[in-house]
Structure 1
Amino acid sequence: MRFRSSVSVLALVAALGAAPLAPVHAQMPMANAPSSFRPLAQQLLPAVVSIQVSSSGRSAQAGRQDAPEVPQAPPGSPFEEFFRDFLERNRPQGPGPQGRPGQRPGPEQRRGQSLGSGFIIDAQAKLVVTNNHVVEGGDEIFVVLQDNTRIKAELVGADPRTDIAVLRLTTDRQLTAVEFGNSDEAQVGDWVLAIGNPFGLASSVSAGIISARSRDIRQGLYDDFIQTDAAINRGNSGGPLFDMQGKVIGINTAIYSPSGGSIGIGFAIPSNLARGIVAQLRDGGRVRRGWLGVNIQQVTEEIAESLGLRGGARGALVARAQEDGPAAKGGVRNGDVILRFNGQEVREMRNLPRIVAETPVGTAAPVVVWRDGREETVNVTVAELPADVAAAQGGGGQPAQPRSQVVELQGLGLKVSPITNELRERHSLRPEQRGVVITEVTAGGPAAERDLRAGDVIVEVQQERVNSPQELQQRLDTLRRQNRASALLLVEGQQGQRFVPLRLREEAPGNQRRN
Structure 2
Amino acid sequence: MPADLATLSQQFADLIAAAAPRLVAVRGAEGGQVSGLIWRTGLVVAAHEALSGEDDFDVFLADGSQVRAELAGRDPTTDVALLRLTTPDFDDWTHAPTPAVGSLAIVAGRGAYSPLASFGLVSEIGPAWRSMRGGDIDARITLGLRLSSRAEGGAVLAPDGGLIGLAVTGPRRRALAIPASTVERAVRTLSEKGYVPRGYLGVSLHTVGRGEGAIAVGIEPEGPAAHAGFVVGDLVTTWNGETIRSVGDVANRLGTGTVGETAKLGVLRGGVASEIDVTIGERPRG
2:51 pairs with 106, 121, 134, which one? 134
1:337 corresponds to which residue? Answer: 238
Q: Aligned with 1:335: secondary structure?
A: strand
Q: Aligned with 1:359: secondary structure?
A: coil
1:279 corresponds to which residue? Answer: 188
Q: Deviations over 1:402-452 (max 9, x none)?
A: xxxxxxxxxxxxxxxxxxxxxxxxxxxxxxxxxxxxxxxxxxxxxxxxxxx
Q: Aligned with 2:190: secondary structure?
A: helix
1:508 corresponds to which residue? Answer: none
Aligned equivalents of 1:206, 1:128: Cα separation in 2: 22
1:367 maps to a residue whose letter is: K
Aligned equivalents of 1:54, 1:135: Cα separation in 2: 6
1:208 corresponds to which residue? Answer: 121
- The answer to whether the aligner puts 1:44 opposite 2:19 as a matched pair is yes
1:195 maps to a residue whose letter is: A
Q: Aligned with 2:236: secondary structure?
A: coil
Give the share of equivalent positions with the same residue, in percent: 22
Q: Deviations over 1:84-117 (max 9, x none)?
A: xxxxxxxxxxxxxxxxxxxxxxxxxxxxx22111
- Structure number with the higher strand fraction is 2
Q: 1:384 to 1:198 in 2, by over 3 A?
A: same
Aligned equivalents of 1:335, 1:271: Cα separation in 2: 36
Look at both structures and tell me which one has the larger radius of gyration over its CA atoms.
Answer: 1
2:150 corresponds to which residue? Answer: 235
Taking structure 2 as the reference length, what is the TM-score of the superposition?
0.68
Q: Deviations over 1:355-402 (max 9, x none)?
A: 5332364x2424365979xx98653212111225xxxxxxxxxxxxxx
1:235 maps to a residue whose letter is: R
Aligned equivalents of 1:189, 1:327: Cα separation in 2: 47
1:275 maps to a residue whose letter is: E
Aligned equivalents of 2:208, 2:101: Cα separation in 1: 26
Structure 1 residue runs of 5 or longer lacking an equivalent are: 1-34, 61-112, 308-316, 389-515
Contact 1:115–1:200 (8 Å) recurs in 2: no
1:193 corresponds to which residue? Answer: 106
Give matches, 1:310-459, under 5 Å.
Answer: 317-320=213-216, 322-324=218-220, 325-327=223-225, 329-330=227-228, 333-339=234-240, 353=251, 356-359=254-257, 361=259, 363-367=260-264, 369=266, 378-388=276-286
Contact 1:194–1:230 (8 Å) recurs in 2: no
1:115 corresponds to which residue? Answer: 33
Aligned equivalents of 1:232, 1:365: Cα separation in 2: 41
**1:251, CA displacement in angstroms?**
2.2
Aligned equivalents of 2:181, 2:19: Cα separation in 1: 20
User: How many equivalent residue pairs?
Assistant: 263
Aligned equivalents of 1:270, 1:194: Cα separation in 2: 13
Q: Alpha carbon RMSD of aligned pairs, Å?
A: 4.3
Q: 1:382 to 1:350 in 2, by over 3 A?
A: same
- The answer to whether the aligner puts 1:155 opposite 2:71 as a matched pair is yes
Aligned equivalents of 2:19, 2:101: Cα separation in 1: 23
Q: 1:119 to 1:353 in 2, by over 3 A?
A: farther
2:117 maps to a residue whose letter is: S
1:174 pairs with 63, 70, 89, which one? 89
Q: Deviations over 1:285-332 (max 9, x none)?
A: 233222234547699xx85xxx7xxxxxxxxx5343752442464367
Q: 1:191 to 1:370 in 2, by over 3 A?
A: farther
Aligned equivalents of 1:236, 1:269: Cα separation in 2: 14
**1:119, CA displacement in angstroms?**
1.2
Taking structure 1 as the reference length, what is the TM-score of the superposition?
0.42
1:290 corresponds to which residue? Answer: 199
